């Protein structure tokens, strides 16, 4: 099987790049942690990779908004390289802060070179503060609603952890949501825990299923081609069954459900 090269693109403040690179490597890929400054010095470096992943963290400290500075670099100084990458048959993944970055850069939801170059003020959607008004770290249950997305093939539902303060999807108008639904771009949604799951879900906890109040319970978005995915939960934090908070109760061993997302990306180039 051809071994795809993965660019795990980190910036000042990124803190999930090591585990994300490990996730790809453990699935048979060849990941390289590339600092944003390296790419700014040599934008053509991106041409050497088949997969781009922007991992989680707090790039630039989220000082003027989650992913805003990182996104401006992708749109501006790296715009031409990003447009070439998006025009090729390659894959892109954004996790948590990486999702915020891809969305605010214009890579999502359109996934096209034209979208990347579009006026930022005309964006269809953004990720903003959780409705509960605070940083939230917990496990959530997710349902896959875009099974044709490369990263989500063969997955129907899974548990993953979240850790963010700005994970709520808001859209410009209802037509945006209709377009996403018609084009199969709503990739993951927060869902209630199954009764047998065993994770605490207090009846009086209004945020139990959708902890950030995201519109239509959206936890992840894809592009129309299915080659790009952005999600707020962290699949790199569930590579092993024993990382699940109820692994003993559920008898989980071996691979964690999050690994499949990385495996799918590597196997796409088989």
Coil, strand or helix: which one is 192?
A: coil
CA pair distance 147, 124, nearest whole angstrom: 23
CA pair distance 213, 170, nearest whole angstrom: 10
Nearest Cα residue to 217 out of 203, 231, 198, 201: 231
49-61 pLDDT tens trace: 999 999 999 998 8
CB 13 within 8 A of CB 59: yes
Q: What is the pLDDT of residue 203?
A: 42
Count the Cβ atoms, other than its own, within 10 Å of residue 74.
Answer: 25
* Active-site annotation, residues: 96, 234, 236
What are φ and ψ of residue 52, in 5° steps?
-110, 130
What are φ and ψ of residue 51, in 5° steps?
-130, 135
Whole-model pTM: value is 0.94
Q: What is the pLDDT of residue 206?
A: 54
Tokens describing residue 183: 């084009």
Q: What is the pLDDT of residue 193?
A: 77
Nearest Cα residue to 54 out of 89, 87, 103: 103
**Does the domain spanning 5-267 belong to CATH 3.40.50.880?**
yes
Point out the residues of the chain with pLDDT beneath 70. Answer: 1, 112-122, 194-207
214-253 pLDDT tens trace: 999 999 999 999 999 999 999 999 999 999 999 999 899 9
Coil, strand or helix: which one is 236?
A: helix
Considering the chain, what percentage of its residues have pLDDT values greater than 70? 90
């Amino acid at each position: 099987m051809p071994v795809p090269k993965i660019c795990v693109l980190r910036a000042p403040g990124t803190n999930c790049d090591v585990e994300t690179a490990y996730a790809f490597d453990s699935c048979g890929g060849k990941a390289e942690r590339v600092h944003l400054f390296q790419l700014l010095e040599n934008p053509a470096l991106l041409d050497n990779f088949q997969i781009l992943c922007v991992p989680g963290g707090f790039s630039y400290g989220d000082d003027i908004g989650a992913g805003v500075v990182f996104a401006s670099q992708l749109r501006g100084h790296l715009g031409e390289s990003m447009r070439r990458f998006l025009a090729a048959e390659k894959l892109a993944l954004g996790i948590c802060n990486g999702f915020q970055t891809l969305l605010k850069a214009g890579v999502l939801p359109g996934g096209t070179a034209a979208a990347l170059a579009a006026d930022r003020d005309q964006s269809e959607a953004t990720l903003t503060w959780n409705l509960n008004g605070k940083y939230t770290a917990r496990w959530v249950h997710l349902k896959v609603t875009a099974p044709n997305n490369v990263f989500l093939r063969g997955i129907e539902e899974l548990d993953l952890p979240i850790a963010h303060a700005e994970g709520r999807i808001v859209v410009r108008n209802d037509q945006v949501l209709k377009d996403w639904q018609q084009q199969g771009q709503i990739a993951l949604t927060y869902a209630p825990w199954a009764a047998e799951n065993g994770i605490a879900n207090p009846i009086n906890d209004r945020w139990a299923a959708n902890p950030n109040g995201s519109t239509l319970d959206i936890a992840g978005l894809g592009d129309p081609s299915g080659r790009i995915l952005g999600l707020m939960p962290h699949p790199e934090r569930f590579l092993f069954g024993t990382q699940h908070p109820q692994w003993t109760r559920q008898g989980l061993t071996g691979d964690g459900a999050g690994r499949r997302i990385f495996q799918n990306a590597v196997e796409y180039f088989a």
